[in-house]
Structure 1
Amino acid sequence: MKIDLRAKSFGGRAVLGPIRLQVARGQRVALLGPSGIGKSTLLRIIAGLDRDFDGRVEGSDRLAIVFQEPTLLPWRRALENIIIAAGCDAATARDLMAQVGLAGREAHYPRQLSLGQQRRLALARAFAAGPDILLMDEPFASLDPETAARMIGLTAGLLERSGAGLILVTHDDSEPARLAATPLVLGGDPAVIGG
């Protein structure tokens, strides 16, 4: 995947400046920087969720995204949340639920799961899609340290087993090392890598 961003503006104000980035399957990078600098905006552009920018994103890589909030379907059971969103079979969904420690909770609705369990379900759903590159937008924020550490460990294991690449947005400068990701710092006005 190649990102060649020239500019991104909101209401006439330039938020992101020239950014060139290339990420391949198996490669891991983390976007760091202060709150409001444009990390999540850049991730949304990469994901194809924001098309109003000057530049281009190229590549045929299969992407999956994990947001800060789990974004689950509240009216569907846990297993269905994976099958419907990822388009996988029930066996794959059950296997991934087991890998993230949710075996036996297939019939639970999201409201019957703790926040940590919901985030693990969202992680299983992302990997069920078979991504070449996993996009994560502060997925460990607002978790207690023990739960965050467990989630980071689960993510690292799933990345290793799947061979997927990673683009992680985070405020925590310890997370890139824990996920073997190269840190890239956004700074400046408009923001650029290394600015």
Structure 2
Amino acid sequence: MRIELKGKSFAGHEVLGPLTLEIGRGQRVAVLGPSGIGKSTLLRIIAGLDEEFSGSLSGDDRLAVVFQEPTLLPWRRALENVTIPAGCDESAARDLMARVGLSGREEQFPRQMSLGQQRRLALARAFAARPDILLMDEPFASLDTETASRMIGLTSELLERSGAGLLLVTHDPGEPARLGARPVQLGGNPAVLRDQDNGTDT
């Protein structure tokens, strides 16, 4: 997956400036920056959810997205929240639910689960889609420290097992290191990417 962005504007206001980002299977990148800088906007463009931008997006990688909110189907049971969106069979869904610690909760509805459990279900759903690259938008925000730590560990384990790449959007500078992701900083007006390892724009 490669994006060559010339710019992104909202109501005439340029939010994102020229930037290039490339990521493939097995590679991990974390985009850091303060709230409102345009991190989620960049991720939505890469995910194909926002086509109103100037530039190009290329690559045939299979993508899956984990948002800050679980975005589950409230009228479907937990198992169906994995099988239906991901298009996988029940055996694969049950296996992934077990891997994220949700074995025995297959018949529960999202409202019967804690926020942490809902986040784990969303993580299982994403990996059930067998992505080449996992896109994560502030996935550990609003979780208590212990739950967030457990979620980061689960994510790292599933990435290792699947071989998928990772594009993480976060404001927490500690998360990239724990996930083995190369940190890049989004900043400026309009915002551009700066590689934290060498201080150069990307």
TM-score where L is the length of structure 1: 0.99
Q: For each residue in 1:167-194, what CA deviation from the matched residue of structure 2 results, as whole angstroms up to 9, or x when unmatched?
A: 0000100000000000010011000012
Aligned mates of 1:22, 1:171 — CA distance in 2? 20
Residues 22-60 of structure 1 show CA distances to partners (whole Å, capped at 9, x for unaligned) of: 101000000001111100000000000000000011000
2:84 corresponding residue in structure 1: 84
Number of residue pairs matched by the alignment = 195
Distance 2:44 2:75 in 1: 26
Residue 147, structure 1, aligned to residue 147, structure 2:
yes
Q: Give the deviation of 1:66 after TM superposition.
A: 0.2
Q: Which residue of 2 aligns with 1:99?
A: 99
Alignment-derived partner of residue 120 in structure 1: 120
How much is the aligned-residue C-alpha RMSD, in angstroms?
0.6
What residue ranges of structure 1 are gaps of 5+ in the alignment? none
Q: Which runs of 4+ in 1 moved over 2 A?
A: none
Query: Which amino acid letter does the alignment assign opposite residue 40 of structure 2?
Result: S
Q: CA deviation at 1:140?
A: 0.2
Separation of aligned partners in 2, 1:125 and 1:153: 17
SS at match of 1:142: coil
Distance 2:141 2:27 in 1: 23
- The 5 Å alignment of 1:175-186 reads 175-186=175-186
Match of 2:137 in 1: 137
Give the secondary-structure state (helix, strand or coil) at the position aligned to 1:139: coil
Q: What TM-score results when the alignment is normalised by the length of structure 2?
A: 0.96
- Counterpart-to-counterpart distance in 2, 1:72 and 1:79: 11
2:158 pairs with 1:158? yes
Look up the equivalent residue of 2:2 and give its one-letter code: K
- How many angstroms apart in 2 are the aligned matches of 1:24 and 1:86? 21
Tell me the secondary structure at the aligned position of residue 123 of structure 1: helix
Q: Cα deviations across residues 125-145 of structure 1 (Å, max 9, x unaligned)?
A: 000000000000000000000
Identity of aligned residues (%): 75
